[in-house]
Structures are given as C-alpha cells and as structure tokens.
Structure 1
Amino acid sequence: MHQKQPPATIAALVAGGGELWARLGPARSATRAALKSRATAGILFILADLRQCRSPFVPLFLDLLRRSLLSFLLSMPAREVQSAHRPESFRGSPLIEVDSLIDRLDLEKIFARRAALHVDLGCGNGSFLCALAQRIPEKNFLGIERLLGRIRSATRKAAKIGNVRLLRMESSYVVRYLLPTRSVETFYLLFPDPWPKRRHWRRRLVTEDFLSAISQALVENGTFRIATDQREYFEKMKEMARANSNFAIIDPSVADLPLTKFERTFRAQGASIHWLELRKVSPVR
C-alpha cells in the first residue's frame, strides 16, 4: 500500500529542525538552560546564530521557532519579563524595557523627542557611545549590547546623559526585527569579534544578509561606520559592500570620533586600524 506522504511544509520543518538540532551539538544544553531560565537575550543570540545554516529548509523552520519562542516570552507575567530584560537595580535607568519582541521600537516614545538616531552595535561598556552622545546632544544615541556585565557598566555611564538609551539584546536581531525602516542616520560597528578561524567565519556579524538589513534601517544617505584591526575581515566586508547596490564606499571620516577601549589597546600594540565607511544610496534601476 502506498504510504501517504506528509505535507511539504511539515517535511520541510522536520528536515530543517533535524539539521539545526545536529548543528547545535554541545550547545543544546545551553539552549535548554536559556529556555529554562527564560533569558531573552540568550535565546535571541541563539536564533541569530542559527540564521547562518545553509539548508533551504532552515528559514521556514527558524521562522516558526522564532514565532513560538517570542509568543512564549510575551506570555510571561510582567514581572518575569522585566527580570529577563532588566534587573531591579536598573529601574529608572536609560536601559530600555522591551514590551514586544515583534513590534518595531517606538523611538519617539523611547527618547521622548524626535531627533536623528545613531546606533552603536555592540556598545561594550558604553565609553565610546557616551562620549559621542555628549559631543552631539542634538542627536539620539542607542547602544546595543548582549553581555550583562558590559550593559551594566554602560548603564552607569549613561545614567546622566539624556540622549542615550541602551538595549540588552543581540545586535543582528535588533537591526533585522526591531529598528523601524529608514530610522537610523548612522550605525557604528567598532571592532566586532573577527572570528579569525575559517571554520568560525559563519559566526561573524557582517554578512550579505546583515548588510541588507542595515540598508533597510538606514535613512537615505545614512552611513555605516566599521572599524577592525583584522585585515582579512576588513577586506571581506569591503568585498561584500562592493557587491551590494545599496551602498557606496566613501572615504572614512573618523577624526571626529572618540577612541574606543579596543582602539586604544590596538594602537598601543602598534596594530593597524582599518576603517570602512558605507553610505546608503538608491540602487540604479
């Protein structure tokens, strides 16, 4: 007797899920721990990392997984959602409490004003972000950082700076799903983890897909400023930018920028700093 085949959608989900499960390997216990503790930032980091799988079935499975996890998180009691995003010691601070992990951020409400927005991706301890925000008080500044220790340090630095807000979350998720379209004047990505080993390149933040998401979030003629001490990573990002019709590579204008902690360290070691500045342009039709 001919066995009835499952619908194509279910087959795709199963195939995608199998690959993801095998790929996670040792990280599965970390995934379970993140879910058990309801650590939102940890879950979103895992979701962002899984986007790098190449199977054609993965996007379908990943979208279903993302929606299920977000529904679960949003169904938690308000006090548990608060603890997942912000410890009690952060109340009244510039750290943003996210009401929805699906809806775009209401930037005017978050900053209590309308102004051009600059976003520091992976803001670390906030030293660069806060120094720049104090130099340009007429603009809004949003720092995104995943690590709790760093976001605590950034929160203390930004406590008395009115034009700075912070968000503890994975940068790639915020760019893709939370920042409104055409809302950002300038992105900064300063000394991202280079993942120098070839087998780890898939973990790098800057990919073709990520550049497209950056383009969606930038205003017309908006800029994306990148710095790295890794020549190979710099050349790879430059190659991706050249292949993206939404960007033009321009001469970097970095004289007006404060030094980051990493930049000071690398310069003290005599390392070269490679800057890449991209400007959003209208594609030629």
Structure 2
Amino acid sequence: MSQPVPSQPDAADRPDLLGFRTKPVSFVRRSGRLTDKQKRMWAERHGFYLIDVPRAVARTSVDPEFVLDAEAVFGRKAPLVVEIGSGLGDAVVEAASSDPERDYLAVEVYQPGLAHTIARAERAGAALGQDGLRNLRLVQANAAELLETTLPAGSVDELWVFFPDPWHKARHHKRRLVTAEFAALAARVLRTGGTLRLATDWAEYAEQMIEVMEADEDLSNAHGPGRLAPRFEGRVPTGFERKAHTAGRAVADLAYVRR
C-alpha cells in the first residue's frame, strides 16, 4: 500500500465541485508527491497503462454510462483478472509478467501507487524484451462504481481483493469495502465459475467477509462453508504483510466461486 500523506478534498467533500457521492467510500482521498523519477515515468508511460475513464461526481468516480471494452483496450480476447486496491503493484505486475495468456486490470485510487506500479511494469516488460507489459492496464477509480457499471456482467475471470483497509473502529465499519453490497457486485462481474480471492490480516474482518459472501446466493466457498483457503500462491508477499506477521496477526485467505 502507498504511505499515508495529507488528505485532499474529493468532490464528495466539496460542494463547489461537481456534486456529492451518496454513499461512503472505502478510502480517504490522498494526493502524494511523486519523486522526480516517478514524474518522468508518469509523463512518458501513463498514457500506455492508464485507462482514461470519464468521471461523474468526483475525481475517482466513473460515469455510469461508460462500459469498459477489455478486448479493445488489450487488443485481444483473453481471460481478465482484476485486482481491487492494487497498491504498489506487487501482485498484479508479478502475475501479468508470468502469465501472458491472461490480461490484468489494476484498480487503485492513489497516484503514487499507480506510478510505482508503472515503474514495476516497465522493469518487468524490459526483462521480457517488451516495450511495456502489454497485458497490464491500470484504472484510477472507486472500485464499487467500477464493479457496478463499468465492467460488463460476467466479464471477469478472477477478482482479487488483498488487504483492504479494515477500518477497525466500529464507527468506521460503514467504510469497509467488503460488504453484502460488494458481494453482489463481485458476483455480477464474475463469469460463471470465476473466482473471487480475498485476504486480510484482521480476524474480525475475515469473519465479516465470510458472513457476507456466504449469504450471497450467487457465490460458493471454494473450500467448504465457513472455511479459509490455502494461501494463494499468486499473492506476492509484501512489506505490509510482513508487518502484520510481526504484529502477531495471522493472514486469512478466502476464495469464492461464482455459481
């Protein structure tokens, strides 16, 4: 995940901007400074990786009329993997570089994280002898809106949500990403037989995830009701996960299949 930086007002907090969001979001809008190297990389390469989506009421919103055509974006028809909250790009870049038969879409709201992901992708592409990592694209957007209207129904092969903000204080639980509404949106975009993979280091959040996922009639626990999944090999260990282990928090992996 990107490091905390001073928050900046989003349209949801500014009546002088386009309008108001009607629902809480699972993130606090931040605007961090890019290093000089990141600025150069962003200027040169964000046009290749970043999908320019039309906005609605906020800088991280998506116009509900916009529908992503993945085949046009990637220039081919291939299974699509989407990572929500891709952070610094550890997992998605490793997956895209080692799995060229599938296309990968990283969803992140923080520009420093996106810039770091682009830098990782450039190094991975160069190692493969490519001008860029061709099966990876990024989008800067609120995940809930992306799942509700931007991605076509049944268009996603796998959906990843690794270490979403736990919002551990009870008064902030309304901001959590993984809710019953999220379960329904995930089921909407997954193809039949597609997989939703989740991971968290907060035991109480894992219990909530299990509760809301197994209450959704379109999703089935891949390992049996109420059971955790083995650690997903495609989830690259990160500094964030190591900090969780150091703090004594166990990581829970979950996997659900679209019926």
Q: Decide: shared fold, TM above 0.5.
A: yes
Determine the C-alpha separation between the residues in 1 that align with 2:24 and 2:167. Answer: 13
Q: Does 1:254 align with 2:236?
A: no
Compute the displacement of 1:179 (Å).
0.6
Q: Secondary structure at the match of 2:220?
A: strand
Aligned counterpart in structure 2 of residue 245 of structure 1, from 178, 202, 217: 217
Tell which deviates more after alignment, 166-175 or 254-263: 254-263
Determine the C-alpha separation between the residues in 1 that align with 2:173 and 2:107. Answer: 22
Q: Does 1:95 align with 2:54?
A: no
C-alpha distance after superposition, 1:31-90 (max 9, x if no partner): 22782xx7xxxx79x455279xxxxxxxxxxxxxxxxxxxxxxxxxxxxxxxxxxx7554
Partner of 2:13: 31
Determine the C-alpha separation between the residues in 2 that align with 1:47 and 1:147. Answer: 21
Partner of 1:12: none
Indicate conservation of the 8 Å contact 1:48/1:172, yes or no. no
Report which structure shows greater RCO (CA 8 Å, sep ≥6): 2
- Bigger Rg, structure 1 or 2: 1
Change (3 A) 1:48 1:170: farther
Q: Does 1:110 align with 2:110?
A: no
Compute the displacement of 1:143 (Å).
0.2
Determine the C-alpha separation between the residues in 2 that align with 1:49 and 1:266. Answer: 26
Runs of 5+ consecutive residues of structure 1 not aligned to the other structure:
1-26, 52-86
Determine the C-alpha separation between the residues in 2 that align with 1:134 and 1:90. Answer: 17
Between the two proteins, the alignment pairs up a number of residues equal to 213
TM-score (norm 1): 0.68
Q: Does 1:274 align with 2:252?
A: yes
Compute the displacement of 1:134 (Å).
1.4
Q: Secondary structure at the match of 1:248?
A: strand
Determine the C-alpha separation between the residues in 1 that align with 2:251 and 2:86. Answer: 18
Q: Secondary structure at the match of 1:225?
A: strand
Identity %: 30
Determine which structure has the larger helix proportion and give its number: 1
Determine the C-alpha separation between the residues in 1 that align with 2:146 and 2:216. Answer: 21
Determine the C-alpha separation between the residues in 2 that align with 1:217 and 1:34. Answer: 34
Tell which deviates more after alignment, 265-274 or 202-211: 265-274
Aligned counterpart in structure 1 of residue 24 of structure 2, from 38, 45, 49: 49
